[in-house]
Amino acid sequence: MPVILFVCYLFDEEDTMMRKRKNRCGGKRVALWVALAMVCLLLSPPLSFGKDKSLLTVYTVNYPLKYFAERIAGKYAQVFFPAPADEDPAYWMPEVQTITAYQQADLILLNGAGYAKWVSKATLPQSKLVDTSRSFSDRYIYMEEVFTHSHGPEGEHAHESLAFTTWIDFDLASQQARAIADAFIKKRPDLEKTFKRNFTSLAQDLHTLDSEIMFLVSLNQNQPFVGSHPVYDYFARRYGFNMISVHWEPDQAPSRQQWIELQTLLEEHPAHWMIWEGEPMASSKGKLLDMGVESLVFDPCGTVPDDEDFLDVMFRNIDNLRVAYR
């Protein structure tokens, strides 16, 4: 509006001629135009450049989702994952203050598949929840040989038998990332292009991981592995791993019974490699070696790594896996 008025002023022929003849009135005319321009400026809608929209506040239930969210949102979100580094996020129970912080978020990214047991015991705003694995919920893996309980002769079983480490199937991880991107776009449709671009970049990286493992496994499809813990179900399904898992912890020495069970297992499933979530105890490694089983670490990276990011950890995992295929 003020631009229009200014242009009108410039091209006001009559005014141009009049200015020359009646200089004493020129000043008044200028003042009038300036005043009109100021009025128009005040009445105009505020200009859009430099608009400061607040950052999205995002909370996640594990580190991979935090990584995905940060890759996709970039500088447009603050992403939080408050679980302590030394606690398994799947079984962590946050304090009430932390739950309150989750409640205040713009978005809460859930893994789905029964991950983060605390979610079923906490009150979170449904409108802000994003179940990142909903798109493949029909392909959840139910874990075998988990001891459930029921009530009475006909009671239903407790639902603690879902495998939940979905993100190390990098195809599923990509779907989870897409769900995050969609949620971000819904919240900030003005940043759709940015989010899509960032997601594409992330999806490309995940695809690289996916392809590398596919290739590795293709070198020896039937090579038997033992999983130290039942966290590799989706990984095994995706890449066709011939894997059977036990219930060991890297930082705990297996019991005698557990060694016996492993021995029995190896008789049917002659694996030469055990895949650990983290660096196992030297004693465990040594004893396994005596049994002809080497150890490699494939860290699911559920918690925040030191000085690395998700991709770094996964590439390192692939390097570790590569050793088994030499």
Residues that bind other proteins (CB under 8 A): 93, 96, 99-100, 103, 117, 120-127, 145-153, 155-160
CB of 116 to other proteins, least distance (A): 13
What tokens does 100 get? 């309150």
Choose between 49 and 147: whose C-beta lies nearer to other proteins: 147
CB of 165 to other proteins, least distance (A): 20
Neighbours of 313 (CB within 10 A): 19
CB of 237 to other proteins, least distance (A): 21
CB of 137 to other proteins, least distance (A): 11
Query: Do 317 and 293 form a contact (C-beta atoms < 8 A)?
Result: no
Tell which residue, 163, 203, 162, 166, has the closest CA to residue 182: 203
Choose between 8 and 158: whose C-beta lies nearer to other proteins: 158
CB of 157 to other proteins, least distance (A): 6
What tokens does 29 get? 């005319």
Q: What are phi and psi of 110, to 5 degrees?
A: -100, 150
Choose between 187 and 238: whose C-beta lies nearer to other proteins: 187
Choose between 76 and 118: whose C-beta lies nearer to other proteins: 118
The Cα–Cα gap between 185 and 196 comes to 8
Neighbours of 227 (CB within 10 A): 23
CB of 120 to other proteins, least distance (A): 7
Choose between 119 and 313: whose C-beta lies nearer to other proteins: 119
Neighbours of 121 (CB within 10 A): 8
Neighbours of 235 (CB within 10 A): 24
The Cα–Cα gap between 100 and 102 comes to 5
Q: What are phi and psi of 77, to 5 degrees?
A: -145, 150
Choose between 87 and 279: whose C-beta lies nearer to other proteins: 87
